Amino acid sequence: MTDSLFDLSGRVAVVTGGMGQLGAELCVALAAREMRVAILDVETEPRAGAAGLRTGLDEGTIQAHACDVTDRGAVEAALALVEVDWGVPELLVNAAGLDSPPDAPAAEVGPFEDVPLDALERVVHVNVLGVVVPCQVIGGAMARAGRGSIVNVGSIYGMLSPDQSLYDFRREAGETFFKPVAYSVSKSSLVNLTRYLATYWGRSGVRVNTLTPHGIENGQPEAFVDAFAERSPLGRLMDASEAVGAVVFLASDASSYVTGANIVVDGGWSAW
Ligand SMILES: NC(=O)c1ccc[n+]([C@@H]2O[C@H](COP(=O)([O-])OP(=O)(O)OC[C@H]3O[C@@H](n4cnc5c(N)ncnc54)[C@H](O)[C@@H]3O)[C@@H](O)[C@H]2O)c1
């Protein structure tokens, strides 16, 4: 049986950061549910191993638009192309984001007191303005159309402080490593951006929610995987596919009375 409550067929989705690990997983899952999916990403090619995304791009159920999501003109131009082909999107998933990579410069992952402000600014710029701008442009179009759903991808580190002891293995290896504050402050701001927009567009038919995932499995060092598992009620990292259910729910009519919420998909991390 097709469940009309969760039926997304024929609807249009925009996924920012769709070339990334989580974004690609969501694009493929939404296309499999017969959505037409447009990716806005600075990257235009799928990473190695993203076979489902490659197929979707080749078959045209998924489009890729080269776009820096902090650039309003670029987002407007991408939306105009999507609208010509498919019309005003029904779903916007803001998954583009920056974290400090494992090989980030020492100062960026050093003690809080010494974190260079330009490093902080770079992450906040993408993680906050890179959500605000697509909301302005695409959310604005949705509001004018009188319907839509926006999912802002946050992080558990936007709700809770990082447990710095998770990274003891790096300090034991001689590094001075702290999970940087930039990621936390930028992701926490999304929780309230979501609430702001949920009320701002409440009467316009546009719902806005946060999705808060935590710890997606991505070939991390064994010491990290073990430390994470010890602290996780479910005893493991998350598979990227485990975010799909929440996004399908938030995209569909099943969540018609859900706005301003934060759907936490953290394996119970925040439960103790
Ligand atoms: N991986 C995790 O464990 C995890 C956990 C919690 C939350 N998240 C969040 O999920 C989202 C996706 O994470 P991911 O692990 O797939 O990361 P990722 O690095 O694999 O993907 C991020 C994508 O965003 C794109 N991007 C970066 N800056 C951009 C810009 N200015 N304009 C357009 N595109 C840009 C990148 O090119 C990349 O394709 C992020 O917001 C991240 O903070 C990830």
- Tens digit of each residue's pLDDT (9 = 90 or more) over 199-243: 999 999 999 999 999 999 999 999 999 999 999 999 999 999 999
Q: What is the pLDDT of residue 104?
A: 87
Distance 4 CA to ligand 1 centre (A): 31
Q: What's the rounded Cα separation, in Å, for the pair 212 and 73?
A: 28
Which residues are designated catalytic? Answer: 183
Q: Are 171 and 225 in contact (CB under 8 A)?
A: no
Distance 81 CA to ligand 1 centre (A): 23
Reported for 240-246, long-range contacts at CB under 8 A and 24+ positions apart, including other chains, are 240/21, 240/22, 240/25, 240/216, 241/25, 241/29, 243/22, 243/25, 243/26, 243/211, 243/213, 243/216, 244/25, 244/26, 244/29, 246/211
Neighbours of 115 (CB within 10 A): 18
Instruction: Evaluate: CB of 70 within 6 angstroms of ligand 1.
Output: yes
With a cut of 70, say whether residue 1 has pLDDT above it. no
Q: Are 251 and 151 in contact (CB under 8 A)?
A: yes
Return left, alpha or beta for 243; rule: phi > 0 is left, psi -120 to 50 is alpha, else beta: alpha
Instruction: Evaluate: CB of 213 within 6 angstroms of ligand 1.
Output: yes
Q: Which residues contact 22 (CB under 8 A, 6 or more apart)?
A: 95, 153, 213, 216, 240, 243
- Closest Cα to residue 38, out of 68, 59, 18, 8? 18
HSE value, Cβ hemisphere, 13 Å, CA-based, for 31: 24
Whole-model pTM: value is: 0.98
Task: Tell me the C-alpha to C-alpha distance, in Å, between residue 263 and each of 85, 109, 194, 208.
Answer: 31, 29, 12, 11
Give the position, in ligand 1's atom list, of the atom nearest the Cα of 238: 3
With a cut of 80, say whether residue 102 has pLDDT above it. no
Neighbours of 253 (CB within 10 A): 12
Q: What is the pLDDT of residue 243?
A: 98
Instruction: Evaluate: CB of 215 within 6 angstroms of ligand 1.
Output: yes
Largest CA distance in the chain: 58
Confidence of residue 85 (pLDDT cuts 50, 70, 90): very high
